[in-house]
Structure 1
């Protein structure tokens, strides 16, 4: 029997060679089109797969910059370079639209993320709820709230539940991004992290998830995608956005790795009423 891992490797090699041939052929004919996508690390796993498939289908060279959303906004503001912007929450997208960095009527909702506590496997610090984070001598991590929505949500959770002052001395790391935050937990370098629920699904064998009570969740974060005002190719950018939106129907791209793609699914967590109004008003 052929090893399943070997099959996966061969499939990836075949996909890579196909993409290489398409791009090489287009380079030779001078027809190669390019897109520059600015996106947060929280969506890198599904977007990497989608971009590979988009490249294979259309022969487009897609360049990416995965950074915390605040850093992406600054990059777009200062350089003006970028065709499509993806944000980890609605506030940053709203800011980008108000500043004229993104075309307002191009914005679409992608996914929804729930604030949660993520702990290493077997939960060595025996954390069962938010109040447990006030125990002395714990090592807690959050993402940098200045550039990462995950960090901003973490601070809001602690303030709204009245335990920020008790917990802040236990916060030993302000991670540069949510991907680095998740890896800290997976490696057992901290006792807990406050981030988004999807972090657990990146490391299902190394972490566990402690769900917050619905009343402890200030808001559900919605991830948005939109076309940059200074895009060099509006038609191609729209084609990419449409391609991403169409992929939301596929469980293997999103739901199988923990991403929530509908309000209906949020209702199973009793959190449908925690979706920001701007996210409810955007049509896919």
Structure 2
């Protein structure tokens, strides 16, 4: 009887020991636990939200992807023309980063108290004239856009950075009235100007220099004399509404360092 009891107790002891060993093997060791904690922490980082000019979509999308790969922080992007972006910002009153197409829109937001810090210029918005291939209307300079009877396609002068800029040039040259007598077609972005000219819907249009680099075989480009052309800065700014100001500032520093090379890759000028 005693021998039988000893055998039972021994069996129970071995069972308990094996269960303890199996449970112990299922637990992560110290370094593994730390690693998993680090992964969870990276995945739990809050994303940034950025308002970005429609004409900056390609370079900023690439930069946001690179930033996420480097930091684990996703940058959510909303694209629109610069005037619409400012309206969105005023309505939503939230977000972390503001990057419209030109400095006048950042200055307008700054006057309203929305801006915390500005970096840049990251690149420049440089207006140029585009015509159908062969330049049938024989446009050679910006003053020619005031000639009677021309069909012009121009980015909206209130809602887009490039439209606002080129009308300053028209004003400087005294040709605004002549240009407007041609009843230009105003569109929401330089990309739509290119599309209209390619479809034969205009004799000439105004776009940003970067809008031409994919279509040089289909368009003629007439550069505006640097003595009269007004080149606008493309800045990047952080917002006072941000709940992650340190992270937003880090993205701003990243944009200052990495931005110009990426913008140049997509046809923007980064020096004047």
Report the TM-score range of the alignment, normalised by the length of the smaller protein: 0.7 to 0.9
Find the partner of 2:210 among 198, 203, 208. Answer: 198
1:45 paired residue number: 58
The CA deviation string for residues 8-64 of structure 1, in whole angstroms up to 9 with x for no partner, is xxxxxxxxxxxxxxxxx9789861421111011221111111112122222323211
Q: How far 1:85 sits from its partner (Å)? A: 0.2
Is residue 255 from structure 1 mapped to residue 267 from structure 2 by the alignment? no
Q: How far 1:107 sits from its partner (Å)? A: 3.4
2:93 paired residue number: 80
Q: How does 1:181-192 map to 2 (within 5 A)?
A: 181-192=193-204
1:174 paired residue number: 186
Counterpart CA distance in 2 for 1:256 and 1:212 is: 22
Counterpart CA distance in 2 for 1:26 and 1:115 is: 46
Structure 1 residues 30 and 254, CA gap change in structure 2 (3 angstroms): closer
Counterpart CA distance in 1 for 2:146 and 2:246 is: 52
TM-score (normalizing by structure 2): 0.78
Is residue 241 from structure 1 mapped to residue 258 from structure 2 by the alignment? no
Is residue 109 from structure 1 mapped to residue 121 from structure 2 by the alignment? yes
1:118 paired residue number: 130
Structure 2 residues without counterparts, runs of 5 or longer? 1-37
Q: How far 1:202 sits from its partner (Å)? A: 4.2
Q: How far 1:232 sits from its partner (Å)? A: 2.3
- CA contact under 8 A between 1:26 and 1:59: conserved in structure 2? no
Q: How does 1:6-155 map to 2 (within 5 A)?
A: 31-103=44-116, 105-155=117-167
Q: How far 1:138 sits from its partner (Å)? A: 2.0
- CA contact under 8 A between 1:142 and 1:171: conserved in structure 2? no
Counterpart CA distance in 2 for 1:256 and 1:98 is: 33
- CA contact under 8 A between 2:63 and 2:259: conserved in structure 1? no
- CA contact under 8 A between 1:116 and 1:194: conserved in structure 2? yes
Structure whose CA Rg is larger: 2
Counterpart CA distance in 1 for 2:63 and 2:131 is: 29
